[in-house]
Amino acid sequence: NEVYWIVNGDSNNLASYQTDDNNNGGQHIANYITGDSNTVKHTQRGSGDHDGFIAIDGDSNDVELSQRGNSDEQYADIVVDGDGHTVDVYQRYADHTANIDITNGGGAYTLDLEQTASSDKTYSLTGICTNGSGCSVSVTQN
């Protein structure tokens, strides 16, 4: 199990949680944050591989990544650029992958990605929100 936090900014709130690794080769969390007032909660549970990563460059972002299950692999790579994004990813069983890259180009994203099936689900999203009212994306794969 490994956890890295490199935080540069004020009033950031990070919480990491990892539990058992009965397969002895999993769990990894890395949070790189530059900016102020960001909230990140990153939870990984169950045995087997989990990775993570979250890199935020901006202020007032709220990201929660939760990976759980007792199957091997589950990977997520979230990059948030800009201010005011809300990203919530939940992966449950099997070989899930998620790559997300979100940028505030005048508006913030609200993203909810849920992959809960016991078979391989892969998702990648890259976006620039230019809508001043914000952009919303919701994806569910079961």
Share of the chain above pLDDT 70, in %: 92
Residue 127, exposed/middle/buried by CB under 10 A (0-12, 13-18, 19+)? middle
pTM of the predicted protein model: 0.86
d(CA 89, CA 98): 8
In the chain, the amino acid numbered 73 is E
Q: What does the pLDDT look like over 50-108, one tens digit per residue?
A: 788 899 999 999 999 988 776 677 888 899 999 999 999 888 776 778 889 999 999 99
